[in-house]
């Protein structure tokens, strides 16, 4: 995925300092998942957020949840027909 595709999945919600550290908070869109990143620049923060997103397999987890939701919905709709 390219940077633009990640920007469709992640949004920067806060930039703040903690002591002398510059920190960034990213939210995975349409979820309550938040990534807290320590970085020296916004470019470094994006790079670290993307790396964390991939290492944690967040996209795969979201896709699995969507798949299970659809399966459950289909089963519910089939039961409600009878």
**How many domains, in total, are found in the chain?**
1
pLDDT digits 0-9 by tens, 42-80: 999 999 999 999 999 998 998 899 899 999 988 888 888
- 41 vs 82: CA distance, rounded Å: 58
- 46 vs 49: CA distance, rounded Å: 5
Residue-number span of the structural domain to which 29 is assigned = 3-81
Q: Name the DSSP class of 31.
A: S
pTM: 0.77
Terminal Cα-to-Cα distance of the chain (whole angstroms) = 44
Residues 6 or more apart whose Cβ sits within 8 Å of residue 31: 62
């Amino acid at each position: 995925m390219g940077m633009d595709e990640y920007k469709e999945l992640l949004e920067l919600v806060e930039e703040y300092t903690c002591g002398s550290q510059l920190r960034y908070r990213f939210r995975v869109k349409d979820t309550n998942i938040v990534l807290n990143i320590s970085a020296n620049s916004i470019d470094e923060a994006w790079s670290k957020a993307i790396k964390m997103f991939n290492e944690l397999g967040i996209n795969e987890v979201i896709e699995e949840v969507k798949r299970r939701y659809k399966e459950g919905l289909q089963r519910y709709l089939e039961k409600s027909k009878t």
